[in-house]
Amino acid sequence: MGPIAVPLYDRLKKPIRKYDFFFLIEQIVDATQKLQKNALPWNKVVWDLRHAYINETTKEVQLIYLPLEDVSVQVNIIEFLESIVYSASPVDERDCDFVSRFVYYLKSLSNYDPEKIEAYIAREDRSIVNTIKKHTTGGSGFMTDKRKDYYDHYGNRASNDDATDLLSESDELTGLLRDDEATGLLADDSDEATGLLNDGDEATGLLNDDDEATGLLAEESVHYPTLYRVLTEEHISINKPVFRLGKERSYVDYFVTNNNAVSRGHADIITRGNRYFVRDLNSKNKTFINGQAIPAQYECEIFDGNRLTLGNEEFIFNT
């Protein structure tokens, strides 16, 4: 039996810790660096959350590579990373702003630069980059869904619940692409031996990386706001740091029905601590706070009781 792998699209429906989030992003960055090093084009990777996979035991990301496909279209890896960002919902822990910080960093880049993004991740948590660069998992082709067998094979004979032990220093480093890879999957060269959850927490991923030894969650929490849609009298719960509104069902967190004045991805509501902001996403009919149009791609603070209007669709903002 092969390792447990699920589409990233499904994994991101569950809350994610800061460590796991950046561990995921760094693996994608590292994969593109290896493709670049081996003179392999990025556009032969299937950049789609439904066709990228993650092993929930080892946290390894697997991407489908189609070497024989004649693909001329240019890819935008920034957009792929943004699709991860907008799908991610962080758990309650001390630092809940990591998603919103990262999305604004991505917006500051004029093009995809793996070295710059990796440097950003290192500033957030140096151990993530060190772990991925230092160790290779899956390189031998060994496959299992049993954690004990996994650690035994890769030289870690320690107790299975000692999640902070790293793999043996003698593990051979291999390249990203394996010559015998028949499935077209890119095996990432990282193992998250420092970030694996204990067995009881594996399904939810709710523990903070710093609290893993004690199993305690951080006490601080973020208070998310709500929206009241005037037309339908609907109450909408904002449940993530960057919450997108628009009319494209597959691209947003709240789908605005029956209104052609609303753009596909119209506006983001950003929660940062106990402050809240709205950012217009270059919408066709603009975004308004209390009747005043806000500049596109500019973060404008919004307060309890303010009227938020997308085109001509009105909402009341409540904290």
- CATH number, domain of 250, equals 2.60.200.20
Tell me, yes or no, whether 63 and 169 share the same domain. Answer: yes
What is the spatial distance between Cα 42 and Cα 67, in angstroms, rounded to a whole number?
10
Q: Domain range spanning residue 305?
A: 226-318
Return d(Cα 229, Cα 61) in angstroms, integer: 38
Rounded-to-integer distance, Cα 192 and Cα 197, Å: 10
Do 73 and 190 belong to one domain? yes
Give the model's pLDDT for residue 93: 63
| Average pLDDT per block of 10 residues along the chain, 319 residues long | 76 89 94 90 89 88 83 80 86 74 87 94 92 62 48 45 35 36 41 38 39 38 88 92 88 90 93 89 94 90 96 95
Q: For the chain, what is the domain count?
A: 2
Q: How far apart are CA 246 and CA 262, in angstroms?
A: 6
Does residue 220 belong to any structural domain of this protein? Answer: no
Same domain, 152 and 294: no
Question: Does residue 221 belong to any structural domain of this protein?
Answer: no
Do 127 and 267 lie in a common domain?
no
Residues 80 and 163 in one domain: yes
Is residue 60 located within the same domain as residue 193?
Answer: yes
Question: Which pLDDT does position 119 carry in this prediction?
Answer: 95
The amino acid that residue 279 corresponds to is R
Same domain, 236 and 187: no
Tell whether 202 and 309 lie within a shared domain: no
Choose one of 157, 177, 211: the last residue of a domain: 211
Q: What angle do CA 45, 47, 48 make, to 5 degrees?
A: 135
What is the model's pLDDT at position 286?
A: 95
Q: What is the pLDDT of residue 284?
A: 92
Q: Check whether residue 191 and residue 68 sit in a common domain.
A: yes
291 found inside a domain:
yes
What single DSSP character describes residue 220? -
Is residue 157 in some structural domain? yes
Confirm whether 312 is domain-assigned: yes
pLDDT at 98: 86
